[in-house]
């Protein structure tokens, strides 16, 4: 909204006082800061209301290690705090004319709604089952298709996707490998978005476990989105007519990545996730005062998957989301192994429960997962230079 205000006033005398809003770098930092402040200010009141509303209700699943039972009574639905902070930070500082921003917000809201239904059913029925998995998948698919075919498809002259259907491979410049999937890309993107959403949901099992890797991934995407969307050029040596000369090269071309129109505005959205995540971690760190619930985990996973799709980092997101990927793979491996052989590969799935059963303390597991997330994020950023 503030950026639109600047656009409206930019030809008048008042524009000089708002000139800082024209810079995406300022708006990225401002979005993160405002989301953080909003979350910190709203957090205590919201948590108190949730605690009163959910008094005496168990928000802990029955099929978890015994140590989790002492957390009964901790309110859930804390993810609503994250979503409010993300939306306000983005709406304040992003360019609301950007199609990518609205796709990201729609997907986040849609997946948050899906998670809210799940949490509401758990609370109203006083059990840990909630919304059946097949219904979650149906809702996730509906919101994905509405976003892709409603906001990312041009129907004026036959259906045409408004984002690239090419796949960018990590550590490989786009000029060497940039396969085009055509309309098959929609199915590939669905796997990325829905898979990431459910992977984050599975990871949200320990205090602070899911939110920190989410923030780290959001930081990496902030850098990637800004790099792919910036119009800045840098100087580089190139052969021109057989002579080595210093020329201006656009940043995406210099880094060997896909140019993303509106990528800088998508970076504002990612920055809002970081700020909102920090504010939530203040209340969710061990011992947690509130759980994010599915309203938070499904929404955040959907947001990260959507950003991976829009920024053309679908394959690279497997590295960025490595912790989430390991969690969902552990469940898939456990279920497949038990059905085929009757044996379990892990002591318990998802993976963090396996380490709990192995005797590691909750705080140690969480911090080590954070460290792995930082390492994977650094590898993902290193891929830019190694192209």
Per-position DSSP letters for 144-207, written without gaps between them: HHHHHHHHSEE-BTB-EESS--B-PPTTS-TTT---B-TTHHHHHHHHHHHHHHHHHHHHTTST
Q: For position 171, what pLDDT does the model report?
A: 83
pLDDT score recorded for residue 195:
97
Low-confidence stretches of the chain (pLDDT < 70) are 6, 8, 10-16, 55-71, 127-128, 235-243, 246-247, 387
- Residue 253's pLDDT is what? 79
State CA 61 to chain mean position distance: 24
Please choose, from the candidates 189, 117, 113, 116, the residue with its C-alpha nearest in 3D space to the C-alpha of residue 147. Answer: 189
Task: Give the β-pairing of 233-240 and 243-250.
Answer: antiparallel
Q: End-to-end CA distance of the chain, in Å?
A: 37
Give the pLDDT of residue 62. Answer: 57
Look at residues 214, 204, 212 and name the one whose alpha carbon lies nearest to residue 68: 204
Q: Give residue 243's pLDDT.
A: 66
pLDDT at residue 70, rounded to an integer: 60
Is there a cis peptide before residue 241, judged by omega within 30 degrees of 0? no
How many angstroms separate the CA atoms of 238 and 248, rounded?
Answer: 9
């Amino acid at each position: 909204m503030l950026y639109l205000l600047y656009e409206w006033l930019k030809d008048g005398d008042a524009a000089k006082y708002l000139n800082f809003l024209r810079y995406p770098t300022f708006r990225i930092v401002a979005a993160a800061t405002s989301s953080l402040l909003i979350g910190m200010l709203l957090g205590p009141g919201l948590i108190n209301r949730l605690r009163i509303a959910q008094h005496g209700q168990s928000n802990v699943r029955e099929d978890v290690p015994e140590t989790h039972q002492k957390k009964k009574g901790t309110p859930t639905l804390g993810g609503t705090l994250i979503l409010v902070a993300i939306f306000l930070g983005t709406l304040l500082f992003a360019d609301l004319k950007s199609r990518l921003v609205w796709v990201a917000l729609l997907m986040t809201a849609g997946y948050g709604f899906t998670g809210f239904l799940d949490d509401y059913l758990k609370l109203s029925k006083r059990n840990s089952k909630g919304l059946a998995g097949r219904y979650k998948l149906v809702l996730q698919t509906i919101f994905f298709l509405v976003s892709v075919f409603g906001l990312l498809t041009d129907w004026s002259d036959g259906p045409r996707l408004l984002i690239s259907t090419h796949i960018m491979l990590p550590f490989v410049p786009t000029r060497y490998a940039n396969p085009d999937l055509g309309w098959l890309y929609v199915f590939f993107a669905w796997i990325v978005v829905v898979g990431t959403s459910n992977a984050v949901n599975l990871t949200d099992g320990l205090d602070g476990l899911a939110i920190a890797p989410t923030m780290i991934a959001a930081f990496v995407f902030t850098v990637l989105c800004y790099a792919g969307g910036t119009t800045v050029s840098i100087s580089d040596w190139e052969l021109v007519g057989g002579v080595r000369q210093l020329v201006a090269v656009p940043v995406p071309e210099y880094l060997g990545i896909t140019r993303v129109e509106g990528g800088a505005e998508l970076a504002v959205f990612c920055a809002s996730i970081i700020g909102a995540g920090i504010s939530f971690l203040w209340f969710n760190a061990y011992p947690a005062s509130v759980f994010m619930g599915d309203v938070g985990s499904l929404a955040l996973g959907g947001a990260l998957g959507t950003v991976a799709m829009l920024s053309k980092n679908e394959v690279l997101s497997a590295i960025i989301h490595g912790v989430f990927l390991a969690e969902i793979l552990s469940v898939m491996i456990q279920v497949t192994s038990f059905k085929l052989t009757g044996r379990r590969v892990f002591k318990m799935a998802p993976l963090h429960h396996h380490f709990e059963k192995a005797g590691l303390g909750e705080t140690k597991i969480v911090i080590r997962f954070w460290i792995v997330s930082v390492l994977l994020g650094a590898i993902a950023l290193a891929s830019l230079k190694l192209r």
